[in-house]
Amino acid sequence: MTDPQAATETQLRNITAQTGKTVADFTAEVAARGALTHGEIIAFLKAGHGLSHGNANLIAHRVREALAGGPAPVGDLLEAQYTGAKAALGPVRDRLVGIATGLGPDVSVVVQRTGVSLRRRRQFGVVQAPSAARVQLGLNLETTPDDPRVVATSGMCSHRVDLPTLESVDGDIERWMTLAYEQAD
């Protein structure tokens, strides 16, 4: 199983080898330029240092963390996703993560800034709250279930299901999560 943290550390070492600069060096450059948005930092890193979008995005996250005093603790990251108008969606997220962790001892739950990645040998699902109206469950499935709630997508997951309430997390959702978990072996 690929360890996401180890993969990130390898990516950072490769960026340093490519550019000769560490995260601290990039942080100093960005700080000297003044307050920049995440997108502006990415554009600066791509144009000024020839970084790919993915590498620039990783460095931008690390730079912003450094400028803010360090990375937020995992619990803070998770709770920050479900504050304010999204607070009512926390139980939906908790139920989905509970289903995933109940699928087997090899499930990893990786909290990221904008969502929760569910992994086995590879990612089989993502839980996000793109708005206060719903939690979005992304799943990697080989075929599209015959249900109008399931939408085929592209990107990190092959399918998504919008879940506006705890009651919408039904037996079909559990079955699809189980299938995605099994296919991630």
Question: What pLDDT is stored for residue 12 in this prediction?
Answer: 86
138-152 mean pLDDT = 95
pLDDT value for 3: 54
pLDDT recorded at residue 152: 95
Higher-confidence position of 180 and 65: 180
> DSSP secondary structure string, the chain?
---HHHHHHHHHHHHHHHHS--HHHHHHHHHHH----HHHHHHHHHHHH---HHHHHHHHHHHHHHHTTSPPPHHHHHHHTT-GGGGGGHHHHHHHHHHHHTT-TT-EEEE-SS-EEEESSSEEEEEEEEETTEEEEEE--SS--S-TTEEE--SS-SEEEEE-SGGG--HHHHHHHHHHHHHT-
Mean pLDDT on 38-42? 88
Structure confidence at residue 2 as a pLDDT band (50, 70, 90):
very low
